[in-house]
Structure formats: structure tokens, C-alpha cells
Amino acid sequence: MIFVLPLLFSVVLLLAQVTVWAHARHIAQATASRALVAARADGGSAAAGEQQAQATLDQLGRSSLTGPEVTVTRDGDQATVHVHGTAASVIPGLRLGIDADAAGPVEQRRPVP
């Protein structure tokens, strides 16, 4: 019986950590997707993507995804977004990295033939 309670608490903490990690991963992916929409839009830019990423992180909160770093690139044909951060720690000393990527073609107006 003396081993059951610490084991039960460890399992509960592990489940809580997995839940926080999954939530942080969702925030990172949502941030990457919304930043990509702004970056690849006709008339958009990498700066617009980064601004949208920061706005999304502000809306969704920065407590689950700590230290987020957003990289947005846009060239003539392709826009890409990479979000990197760390899941908040429930178990002391455990640091789980989060990475999310989104990429897509840049929207361009083409003349009607």
C-alpha cells in the first residue's frame, strides 16, 4: 500500500503533462496555420504572417506554449511558417519541445486568358 499512492500521483502528473503538451501543440499548429494564411495571401508578406502569429499567440494564451519562436518566410512561389516552443512543465525538470510547420503556395492574381 505504501507504493500505491506515490505511483498513483506519478500517473496523474504524467497524464496532466501529456494534456498540457497536447494543448501546447495545438496552439503551435493553430498559430502556424493562421500565420500562413496571412503570409500567403495576395498582397501579404512575411511581416504580416509574423504579426498574425503574435496576435494568435496573444489570443490563445502563452501559458501552455512557453518561449514561442515564429519564423515566417515568403518567396515568389511559396510561404512557410515554423513555430518552435516548449510545453509548460507540470513535472519539474521535464521540458518537452513543440514544433509546428505550415507551408503553401503564394496566392497570385493571374490575367484571364
For the ranges 4-13, 22-31, 104-113, the lowest mean pLDDT is seen at 104-113
Whether residue 2 has pLDDT greater than 90: no
Q: Give the pLDDT score at 113.
A: 77
Please state whether the predicted TM-score (pTM) of the whole model is above 0.85: yes
CA 31 from centroid of its chain's CA atoms? 5
Measured CA to CA, the distance from residue 20 to residue 41 in angstroms comes to: 32
Q: Are 68 and 83 in contact (CB under 8 A)?
A: yes
CATH of region 4-105, choose from 3.30.300, 3.30.1300, 1.25.10, 3.90.930: 3.30.1300
